[in-house]
Amino acid sequence: MGRRLDQLMELFGREPRKPDPKTVPEEIKLIYREKRSDKGRIEAIRAELAHKAARAQPEKIRRLRWTVLIAVNLLFVVSYYLDIQLLEGALTASRFMGFHMADLNSALQVMLAFKHVVINLLIGTATVFLLWWLLGGRTFCSWVCPYHLLAEWAEMLHVWLAKKKLVKDHPLDRRLRTVAWVVFAVLAFVTGYTVYETISPTGIVSRALIYGPGVAMLWVLLLLAFEVFYSRRAWCRYLCPIGLTYGLVGATSPFRVQYHLPTCFHEGECRKVCLVPHVLDTVIMGRARGIHVDIGPDCTRCGRCVDACPTGSLTFEYGRGQEGKGTPAPATQDRPAA
């Protein structure tokens, strides 16, 4: 329960905390002692990374994720232009084969603004709530949101420029997202107008794809430029209220990424590629609170850490999983001897 509460507080913007040594189980301390006393661990890390580099594989999960994201958004476009009424509307509110669906954050804004619940909106919200609870975390962000894909491409440009020492990342305070969520909720309630929807890059890009771009796309371009030249993935990491909403919905989902301490080399490859690296604080040497640790609800389930981990210490799990259980059997994957 304490770990779940910590993860929720991290979702709201609190920085991850080191575990209290008094609360860390003895078996965890033993694993860390063995790792610290292992004189060949650094060489093993180098051998593992060299082995992976020599057998470089494409990021299969990333390719699948991009395919799904593009396909979902193209389905809106095709349905509109061919007038086949398969998937009508946009991501903020839609009908799939006549069945209502509503983005949870947009639905909340509408309910607060109009101060009553429309039955179709309630049905659409319940359907989407169940879907994203089953998928967990912020799956919507990395697998469906069109702005997320643009921001990911902008991030690739930012990383390339950073390597050339032409730009530098300036992290923002993650608590800003919680503040933004509250501010826009209050504005909707007080003004009777869904203020957030006028600036939401998710809604703007979705509508631009379907109905054609408008002047609002200038705001999206400014956001992307800010992320390329100043703060890496600023909107998704530090500001987007939608991410907070879906993180709360998926906090208790049976689907998650799970970390396995015994096989981890703590080389940090996963954190280098993570879209929200604070969720992987547990992989840092001395930070894990268990043999198996579920990654928190701010995780976008993008799968990049799963692809990047050279020892298979991060995996997708469904169901109750192994969190809190004992040490697993040694991994049998093909790896060079340390």
- Nearest Cα neighbor of 250 from 144, 110, 329, 93 is 144
- State how far the Cα of 93 lies from the Cα of 320, in Å rounded to an integer: 32
Tell me if 179 is assigned to some domain: yes
The pLDDT confidence band at residue 1, using thresholds 50, 70 and 90, is low
pTM for this structure? 0.86
Domain final residue, candidates 214, 249, 284: 249
What is the extent of the structural domain holding 126? Answer: 65-249
174 with 292, same domain: the answer is: no
- State how far the Cα of 338 lies from the Cα of 70, in Å rounded to an integer: 41
260 with 173, same domain: the answer is: no
The answer to whether the CB of 280 falls within 8 A of the CB of 231 is no
Domain final residue, candidates 200, 216, 249: 249
pLDDT digits (tens, 9 = 90+) for 208-227: 999 999 999 999 999 999 99
89 with 122, same domain: the answer is: yes
- Nearest Cα neighbor of 259 from 316, 314, 332, 303 is 314
Mean pLDDT across the chain? 88
- Nearest Cα neighbor of 274 from 134, 155, 164 is 155
DSSP E strands in 18-125: the ranges are: 87-90, 93-96, 99-102
141 with 217, same domain: the answer is: yes
- Beta bridge partner(s), residue 100: 95
What's the number of domains the chain is made of?
2
Distances in Å between the Cα of 203 and the Cα atoms of 14, 150, 266, 305 are: 28, 13, 39, 28
Tell me if 325 is assigned to some domain: no
Q: How far is CA 140 from the centre of its chain?
A: 8
Tell me if 167 is assigned to some domain: yes
Q: How far is CA 114 from the centre of its chain?
A: 30
Domain final residue, candidates 249, 272, 300: 249
171 with 34, same domain: the answer is: no
Look up residue 311 and give its DSSP letter: T
- Nearest Cα neighbor of 205 from 219, 225, 186 is 219
112 with 132, same domain: the answer is: yes
HSE at residue 159, side-chain half, CA atoms within 13 A, is 11
Structure tokens at 296: 């928190």
Residue type at position 28? I
- State how far the Cα of 120 lies from the Cα of 56, in Å rounded to an integer: 49
Tell me if 94 is assigned to some domain: yes
pLDDT digits (tens, 9 = 90+) for 109-168: 888 888 877 777 787 788 888 988 998 889 999 999 999 999 999 999 999 999 999 999
Q: How far apart are the first and last CA of the chain?
A: 37
- State how far the Cα of 92 lies from the Cα of 202, in Å rounded to an integer: 8
pLDDT value for 38: 81
Residue 61 predicted with pLDDT over 80: yes
189 with 204, same domain: the answer is: yes
pLDDT value for 314: 96
Tell me if 329 is assigned to some domain: no
115 with 222, same domain: the answer is: yes
pLDDT value for 332: 35
The torsion region of residue 327 among left (phi > 0), alpha (psi -120 to 50) and beta comes to beta
245 with 256, same domain: the answer is: no
Tell me if 334 is assigned to some domain: no
130 with 220, same domain: the answer is: yes
168 with 298, same domain: the answer is: no
93 with 228, same domain: the answer is: yes
Tell me if 255 is assigned to some domain: yes
Q: Which residues, including other chains, have CB under 8 Å from residue 299's CB and lie 6 or more apart? A: 137, 138, 256, 257, 276, 279
Tell me if 15 is assigned to some domain: yes
